[in-house]
Amino acid sequence: MKWDYVTFEKLYLNDSRNGLTKPSKVRGSGFKMINMGELFANDRIFDIPMELVPLNEKEKISAKVEKNDLLFARQSLVLEGAGKCSIVMDVSPLTVFESHIIRVRLNKELADPLFYYYYFRSSISPIKTIVQQCAQAGIRGSDLQKLDVIYPPIQTQRRIASILSAYDDLIENNRKQIKLLEEAAQRLYKEWFVDLRFPGHEKVRIVDGVPEGWRKGVIEDVIEFNPKMTLAKERLKQSVPMSALSTNSMTINSNEFTTTYSNSGSKFKNGDTLLARITPCLENGKTGFVSGIDNEGAVGSTEFIVMRSKKLNPYIVYLLARTNDFRKTAIHSMTGSDGRQRAQVDKIMKYPYIIPSQTILYTFEKVIKPIFDKIICLNVQSQKLAQSRDRLLPKLMSGELEV
């Protein structure tokens, strides 16, 4: 089936606009503002933590976002990021957006915002025809509004959006479950190994400042950093880019994986923890727990620090890497020129660590492993749902599949 075309601006409820410019010195309090970080990290934007900015009365009206607003990236350091489209799903009553973003609010009597969100994510999206490559890749609102876009009947738009959003709703439910499970795991780690309120702690004597059976040490005593691995050069291997790591979860997005015969870069296997060592990825929290890769191992970004348990267990290594004290140590170890600073492994290895008794380590592993297994299972489900959605997307948008 062939769709009609219409100029995009004819579907607007009002004129598109760019967001606010707020210098860093005024940020920190006020109202939530969607930055480029949120736009690139979230295809569907919910009421997530964001930077706070002060607003005057005019800005509260002109830059406010509403549910179903489409947000387009005006600029990107990489070509493929320019024009990236996200949709506002649910935000605080007063949330605004920053100047590197274009807001488009559609007339819902003419256009279904979810349909056009999926359209601009599809392979038939015309967005790349207006990308300009200068110092940075970017688009202009004036060019965006002149784009010719497909225009199926509104009922068809809604049916297509409903089919595709059903996949994303399931993925979002899994994401929420993963978030709760990981928060529970991190609370357990803190309770047992930071607050030292492990099972039976009331009956354990404190000897030289640590529980009896525990001992003081440094992290290199129990964790191996960038362990040596030999991978066959003739084997096609999975390759994990930095973009596959999450800033707030252990999950690694396998849909970002590629394959290579090369052995260059970091090398790791299931159960390892990957820690981003370069700015701003480290400060943003990019850390992952490796699972679901070939048993022989995989390769990845040269900007990963690989952490592997020597005398703990894989779960503790990851949970430790997520603690504030450890992350501060890694961040403070960074050296190099602005914008290319990297954490120094030799300094991280000296991080003081109280080494638990083997009994506590064994008990904790029995408690924590089912939580990690559930997270991994939910993540696999989500990635399969995403693959199914992405296979359907071009067929629905092109009219190849009737609805």
Q: Are 196 and 327 in the same domain?
A: yes
- 358-397 and 113-121 are packed helices; what angle lies between their axes, rounded to 10 degrees? 100
Q: Rounded distance, CA 252 to CA 287, Å?
A: 9
Domain that holds residue 29: 4-151
Q: Is 9 within the bounds of a domain?
A: yes
- Relative to beta strand 132-133, strand 137-138 is antiparallel
pLDDT digits (tens, 9 = 90+) for 24-75: 889 889 999 999 888 988 899 999 889 999 999 999 999 999 999 999 999 8
Mean per-residue pLDDT for 72-79? 80
Residues 327, 207 share a domain: yes
Residues 305 and 275 sit within 8 Å (Cβ to Cβ): yes
* 243-247 mean pLDDT: 90
Binned at pLDDT 50, 70 and 90, residue 80 comes out as confident
For the segment 338-342, the average pLDDT, to the nearest whole number, is 81
Q: Is residue 157 part of a domain?
A: no
79-88, 89-98, 128-137, 142-151 — which is least confidently predicted? 128-137
Residues 26 and 137 in one domain: yes
CATH number at residue 23: 3.90.220.20
pLDDT of 146 > 70? The answer is yes
Residue 349 has pLDDT above 70, yes or no: yes
Inside any domain, residue 271: yes
366 — pLDDT class (breaks 50, 70, 90): very high
The one-letter code for the residue type at 305 is: I
- Mean pLDDT computed over 94-105: 95
What is each CA distance from 110 to 12, 116, 398, in whole angstroms? 9, 11, 19
Residue 373 is assigned to a structural domain of this protein: no
Number of domains comprising the chain: 2
Q: What is the rounded CA–CA span in Å between residue 85 and residue 288?
A: 26
What integer best gives the mean pLDDT of the chain? Answer: 92
Q: How does residue 15 score in pLDDT terms, banded at 50, 70 and 90?
A: very high
Residue count (the chain): 403
Residue whose token pair is 């000296």: 350
